[in-house]
Structure 1
Amino acid sequence: MMRRLAVPAAALLLTSALAGCSDSANGDDGKLDVVTAFYPLQFLSERIGGEAVRVSTLTKPGAEPHDVELTASQVGEVADAGVIVYLNGFQPAVDDAVKQNGGDRAFDATSVIEMIPRAEADDHAEEEGAEHAEEEEHGPNDPHVWLDPERLATIGDKLAERLGKADPDHAADFTARAATLRTELTTLDGEFKTGLADCARRELVTSHSAFGYLASRYELTQIGITGIDPETEPSPQRLAAVAAEAKEHGTTTIFFETLVSPKVAETIAKEVGAQTAVLDPIEGLTDASADYFSVMRANLTALKLGLECK
């Protein structure tokens, strides 16, 4: 299903004009205004920007971000921001707002790392026609780059450079915080490598094909019931094919995510006699006390149990 930005054209033109009139990247308190598209980019911006930035996000906590629609006021935030941090091809509404109002203030996370093509990330995708339709709307690459800690660290390094250009007085601080974050992400990466080194099986059956980067980094095979877009409805043929693969590999756990219905995963689990468990793609937080690191470590625990790792 094609979805586009639900903001009147007049609002876009108005905010474009306002953007052209803006002559300062900083607010009245001297902080750099950073608008982020969704949680992982908000997390990066807050950790790297520190007290020198004021960070907002276009996707509300707990909201499914793939097809978020922006209000006129949110498009205005994009127009007025000092830096806009987004991931091209993930949220069409945000892409449109950035195209209309972003200019050289936009930082596209996909431009600084190597992306995995959708077809490679989701080897078990739906019918070819549906796959092409999804690529046309959301882009040709798997957008879930933040689930690879190494790629996220690289995005952080480049974001620090971009923030430094917008606010040179704090450039050294941005670089130092990005280096600290990289060290933490390297530690997390080591935990995943150790935790997933010796498992009874390496097939990862998920309701949503969001884990291509994680699977690639830790030598797992993702078997997605739906495609990259979690709202894609699997056909009866697809459900039967996944059930057959799950039985073939002796799958004991079908993973589902926090922001969409677990019904598809439960259907497969019932068919193959497996249990279900949460594997969070961290597209948006549902727990205010959680952060990227705590959710990733919860994912590692779930994977070790579900794949029977030693």
Structure 2
Amino acid sequence: MKRNKTYGRHFAVVIALAALLVLAACGRNSAGTIVEDKVNVVTTFYPIYEFSSAIGGEDANVINLLPTGVEPHDWTPRGQDIVNTSKAQLFFYNGAGLEGWVPDFLKGLNADSKVKAVEVSKGVDLIMTTEDDGHNHGAVSEEQDHEHEGEEHSDESVDAKHTDPHTWVSPKSALIMAKNIRDSLIEADPDHKAGYEERYQVLADKLVQLDAEFTEKLSPLPNKEIVVSHQAFGYLTRDYGLQQHSIMGLSPDAEPRAQDMLNLAKLVKEEGIRYIFFEELVSDRLAKTLADEAGVDTLVLNPVEGLTEQQVKDGEDYFSLMRNNLQNLLLALQ
């Protein structure tokens, strides 16, 4: 018991430091202006921006709200973001509970705005979880809850009111999101339908190829369990036969208990897990703490929520980061 208390105190200090590092990273350096002779699209964060830019091509002006190097879960927009979105034709957001600020943001748009808001994750088979990260991420909306009024619920179903919002991390779900983006662009700008369809097909072919690579390379591996810092890989693990155990919840700044860390360390040792995965846009301190406790190493598993400044300079994109993920999964699960 003494060891547990000491570990708990150490763990609390680690959490505080990690939170400060996350806040320090949240600079505001996003940019983008409305272009009068194109369909203007505002996106909430990187994967939607990349897919929209790929499909929109020269026919669309795509503005991303989230600055480079910032983790999207607790980001909130600025006044200029409201101005740009009010003048745009399309506003693409992930939905599934990721951007909790969207309803109030849309209410704050100019009264004469004709922008159409599109939840690009619509149609994805969403993962429900009993995970409650304390930030209301992924919470079922009041409207959705009313749809089930009068139904009997077990205690488990009442608890399971959180949606895993990390849809884009699986190429299978990303393909559905790309289709929604294509359809919305065509509806807003039918004169350029042929271009949108052609560029969508190029993107779709790349996503199908990526899906095939994950399926072919992960399916024969003997080990299937991974330990991650942030519960962001539910769609990836579901679609490719893996199982994730997370230090934190759906939000990367959720606070795990010291006992949870001890239990994870025990699991790592019992299952022979060799790596703890961390991500680049948040502090790796907790992952390293767990790795030290369990006597294993760390590796990057990127939820592709955004790019670092260095990744931008290196020309990285969704596909290169996902293939890096695949290589690290292969290393960890051999």
User: Shared fold by TM > 0.5?
Assistant: yes
Determine which of 110, 117, 132 is the counterpart of 1:106: 117
Structure 1 pair 226–246 and aligned structure 2 pair: CA distance change class (3 A): same
| Deviation per residue, 1:7-39 (Å, 9 max, x gap) | xxxxxxxxxxxxxxxxxxx832x2111000000
Taking the aligned partners of 1:33 and 1:93, their CA distance within structure 2 comes to 21
* Residues 100, 137 of structure 2: 8 Å contact kept: no
Instruction: Show the counterpart of 2:14.
Output: none
Among candidates 150, 155, 158, match of residue 177 of structure 2: 155
Answering whether residue 86 of structure 2 is matched by residue 79 of structure 1, we say yes
> What amino acid sits opposite 1:96 in the alignment?
D
Q: Which shifted more, 278-287 or 236-245?
A: 236-245
Change (3 A) 1:98 1:87: farther
Output the CA distance in 1 between the equivalents of 2:326 and 2:173.
17
**TM-score, length basis structure 1:** 0.83
Partner residue of 1:62 out of 46, 65, 69: 69
Call closer, same or farther: CA 1:136–1:144 in 2, change over 3 Å.
closer
Indicate which of 195, 199, 209 corresponds to 2:231. Answer: 209
Q: Structure 1 residues 204, 52: closer, same or farther in 2, change over 3 A?
A: same
Deviation at 1:103, TM superposition (A): 6.6
Indicate the SS of the match to 1:306: helix
- Assess if the C-alpha contact under 8 Å between 2:89 and 2:114 holds in 1: no
Alignment: residue pair count: 274
What is the one-letter code of the residue matched to 1:74? Answer: D
Counterparts of 2:59 and 2:135, CA distance in 1:
42
Offset at 1:131? 6.0
Q: Is the 8 A contact 1:201 1:249 kept in 2?
A: no
Match of 1:219 in 2: 241
SS of residue matched to 1:110: coil
- Of residues 279, 283, 290, the one that matches 2:301 is 279
Question: Aligned pair 1:50/2:61, yes or no?
Answer: no
State whether structure 2 residue 322 is matched by structure 1 residue 296.
yes
What is the aligned counterpart of 1:173 among 164, 179, 195? 195
Distance 1:103 1:236, change over 3 A: farther
Contact preservation (8 Å) 1:157, 1:179? no
C-alpha distance in 2, partners of 1:137/1:275? 37
Unaligned stretches of 5+ residues in structure 2: 1-33, 142-160
CA deviation string 1:98-132 (max 9, x = no partner): 3443776111013232211133xxxxx5xx6x569
Q: Percent identity?
A: 37
Secondary structure in structure 1 of the residue aligned to 2:187: helix
Pair 1:103–1:272, CA change in 2 (3 A)? farther
When residues 110 and 100 of structure 1 are mapped into structure 2, their CA distance, relative to the original with a 3 A threshold, is farther
Deviations 1:26-60 (A, max 9, x none): 832x2111000000000110011010001111100
Q: Do structure 1's residue 118 and structure 2's residue 129 form an aligned pair?
A: yes
**Partner AA of 1:97 in structure 2:** F
Equivalent position of 2:47 in the other structure = 40
* Contact persistence 2:214–2:240 (CA under 8 A): yes
Partner Cα distance (2:329, 2:103) in 1 = 33
Q: What TM-score do the two structures reach when normalised by structure 2?
A: 0.78
SS of corresponding position for 1:106: strand
1:250-261 matched pairs, under 5 angstroms: 250-261=272-283
CA contact (8 A) 1:202 1:307 kept: yes
Give yes or no for contact 1:63–1:284 (8 Å, CA) kept in 2: yes
How far, CA to CA, are the matches of 2:40 and 2:65 in structure 1?
13
Task: Give the match for residue 27 of structure 2.
Answer: none
Change (3 A) 1:140 1:104: farther
The alpha-carbon deviation at position 94 of structure 1 amounts to: 3.4
Question: Could you say what the CA RMSD is over the residues aligned between the two structures, in angstroms?
Answer: 2.0
